[in-house]
Copies of this chain bind each other. A is one copy, B any other.
Amino acid sequence: MAYRNSAKNKTRLLSPTAPSKRYMTIDQSPSESKTFQINNSEVHPLTNLSANKKLQDYEIQVKGRFDKIVPFLQKVSALQHEQDFVDCAQQLASQELGFQLPKHILDKAWVRPLDMRALFAWCVFQSHQHLSNQFFNSDPLNGSEDSNEAKAFQDFLLECGFHLLDVTPCADGRLAHSIAYALRIPFSSVRRRSHAGALFDIENTVNRWVKTEHKRYREGVPNFTNESTCYLKVVIYHFSSLDPSHQGCAAHGSNDEEAAKAGLQRLLDFQESVENSFCCGASVEILLIGLDTDTDSIRIHVPDTTKKIVLDQWVSVANIYEETKHLSIDQARLKIIDTVKRSAPGDIAPGMVSFISRLIENNISQLDYVSHLHNGPYPDSGHAERFIGVGIGFKEVHLRNLTYFSHLDTVEEGAPDLDVGIKIFKGLNVSRDLPIPVVIRFDYSGKVPGARDRALQDCKRVDNAITFRYRALVDDGLLHTCLTIRDRDKKGPAEVVGSSLKPTLQEAH
């Protein structure tokens, strides 16, 4: 990994001779200038080591499946002119990857060079399908609605005064783990909508707000409207402490200030939309968070009770880590609470203090996670996504740099986000003569008559629109699609309903 000179207000020390001890550049509130150092043999008193172990096992296991694909295919390539090639390849696939390869592609090896691009896409789709099935069947991150973790977090949220937590990270794959890893929130306790530059859709979010309020009025879920709790909308923008001018948010020209400013403006616009469109003091709470994609440390722009957020004023978890690592658990927690209170531009609600303090404590675990796993900051400082996820859904994706999200109903509306993803994958895959794997997903409500068929049609429509928009890539076998739908009411795994790797991957059922 190349370390470059950092920008002003960022400092960095490298000690290549001491791999167990690394210094990282960190984000800082503008008034401070410190060096952040994690000693890998040390652990912060607030770090949850058992959670870190579980998360690490999961990440290594899932990403390992994707990382085996290229070496495996290199072996297959070498075998393609053998007499018993098809059998050998299938045996090797079963042994190394745990699934079979598509026979109709292997069968052609004698007549033309093996279509390695198609095999690569197949392996990515199978690996995604495996991860997806595992996620919905066995809840490896303990984040499903029925988990104790989710129930406890939901109670905590309500105690803090929030009945819905709605988070928009950037669509960038380096934020795909924001919820389950960086913030350590059970995935089912959050509405996650990723968008390029974290610029969420206001009308769509107002609709979500209406649905949430309606459910409270009608069903008292999660609580009745006579409890004065709020809808909390969070934006997570991102930046790179190690290479701020190259590895920041592409949508904002790698400019941290612009990323924060645009995120805050979107939050304020959403808040104003609710306030202007509905009577009786309707409003929402808002929160702006920045994430350093090199270390996962977050900075929180603490809002006061008047909902004021200041762009150049934040709590830095990297700083807090340093300031609290030698304290006892209780002392560290008190220090965090105190820091949060002092960081608000005015009075701050006790619930907001509790919520932010929890995020800080959770993020401290993540700082140790990253540092211990990689012996320093992330080695993949830039993009390294494995596939593009297009459509509505993907509740199963919670790993950094696994997926570039293109959250859309139509390619017509979502093209700018999708184009960014295609550009990223031209660099990642096409430059190596490998195809761009695109998983299309439409979640639907099985309770609604005809919804499954409509989700299927949506997949096909988006697949056609992608084929049309990126015709040259598709014609060259450099873009493959896998179509999936999922009944969100059943809470089971997704169903594969089509693929560009004909014949069909799996029978639609």
Chain B nearest Cβ from A125, distance in angstroms: 24
Instruction: Say whether chain A's binding surface is mostly helix, strand, loop, or mixed.
Output: helix
Q: Mark A191-219, 1 if CB is under 8 A from B, else 0.
A: 00000000000110011001101100111
Interface of chain A residues 107 through 166 with chain B (CB within 8 A):
none
Name the one of B207, B211, B465 contacting A412, with C-beta atoms under 8 angstroms.
Answer: B465
**B451 and A203 contact, CB distance less than 8 A:** yes
Nearest B residue to A444 via CB reads: B203
CA distance A229 to B272 in the complex (A): 32
**A454 and B218 contact, CB distance less than 8 A:** no
How often does this chain occur in the complex, in copies?
A: 2
A279 contacts B by Cβ under 8 Å: yes
Chain B residues closer than 8 Å to A218, beta-carbon distance? 213, 217, 278-280, 282
Chain B nearest Cβ from A496, distance in angstroms: 23
A277 contacts B by Cβ under 8 Å: yes
A410 contacts B by Cβ under 8 Å: yes
Chain B residues closer than 8 Å to A280, beta-carbon distance? 218-219
A450 contacts B by Cβ under 8 Å: yes
Nearest B residue to A411 via CB reads: B412
Nearest B residue to A210 via CB reads: B214
Interface of chain A residues 424 through 464 with chain B (CB within 8 A):
445, 447-451, 454, 461
A223 contacts B by Cβ under 8 Å: no
A413 contacts B by Cβ under 8 Å: yes
**B217 and A461 contact, CB distance less than 8 A:** no
Interface of chain A residues 455 through 487 with chain B (CB within 8 A):
461, 465
**B461 and A273 contact, CB distance less than 8 A:** no
Name the one of B206, B276, B412 contacting A461, with C-beta atoms under 8 angstroms.
Answer: B412
Chain B residues closer than 8 Å to A413, beta-carbon distance? 409-410, 461
Interface centre among A207, A268, A277, A449 (most CB of B within 10 A): A449
**B203 and A269 contact, CB distance less than 8 A:** no
Q: Mark A170-199, 1 if CB is under 8 A from B, else 0.
A: 000000000000000000000000000000
CA distance A454 to B273 in the complex (A): 14
Chain B residues closer than 8 Å to A217, beta-carbon distance? 213-214, 217-218, 225
Chain B nearest Cβ from A310, distance in angstroms: 20
Chain B nearest Cβ from A209, distance in angstroms: 9
**B273 and A206 contact, CB distance less than 8 A:** no
Also in contact, A447 and B214, with CB within 8 A (given A207-B207, A410-B412, A412-B411): no
Nearest B residue to A278 via CB reads: B218
CA distance A282 to B218 in the complex (A): 9
Chain B residues closer than 8 Å to A276, beta-carbon distance? 447-448
CA distance A388 to B278 in the complex (A): 34
**B450 and A202 contact, CB distance less than 8 A:** yes
**A279 and B219 contact, CB distance less than 8 A:** yes
Chain B residues closer than 8 Å to A213, beta-carbon distance? 214, 217-218
**A448 and B202 contact, CB distance less than 8 A:** yes
Nearest B residue to A201 via CB reads: B454
Interface of chain A residues 236 through 290 with chain B (CB within 8 A):
268-269, 272-273, 276-280, 282
Chain B nearest Cβ from A6, distance in angstroms: 34
CA distance A448 to B269 in the complex (A): 7
CA distance A204 to B495 in the complex (A): 24
Query: Other than the known A202-B454, A277-B445, A412-B412, what 4 A-B pairs have Cβ atoms closer than 8 Å?
Result: A207-B211, A269-B450, A277-B448, A411-B412
The 7 A-B residue pairs with the shortest CB-CB distance, nearest first, are A217-B217, A276-B447, A269-B449, A412-B412, A410-B412, A273-B448, A410-B410
